[in-house]
Amino acid sequence: MTLVRGATHSSAVDRWVDDATAGREGRFKDVTIEVFDYQDNAVKQYQLRGAFVERIAYSNAPGADALTVKFFTLVLS
């Protein structure tokens, strides 16, 4: 799954990326991604279990950094 930085920013994701790129413990995470509508209501949720950072692509364009993650299990709700 490839995630492109959107309207929000998460320091927890930044720490996860830092741990992954440094090869530290904590590389594997259970991650929840929530999708919101224009009224800021959660409309969908993806749970990635055993997720880990595979690739990071930085861009000069604002909001275009991409994080590719792999995971063992996907739960939709």
pLDDT at 7 over 60: no
The whole-model pTM stands at: 0.71
C-alpha 18, offset from chain centre: 13
pLDDT for position 6: 61
Please state, in angstroms and as integers, the Cα–Cα distance from residue 70 to each residue in 2, 31, 38, 39, 53, following that order: 9, 11, 28, 30, 7
User: What would the pLDDT profile of 21-77 be if each residue is shown by its tens digit?
Assistant: 787 776 788 988 888 899 999 999 999 999 988 888 877 877 777 888 889 999 988
Are the beta carbons of 48 and 69 closer than 8 angstroms? yes
Neighbours of 53 (CB within 10 A): 19
pLDDT for position 3: 77
pLDDT for position 67: 82
> What are the sequence ranges of the domains in the chain?
2-76
Tokens 């990635």 -> residue:
48
pLDDT for position 39: 94
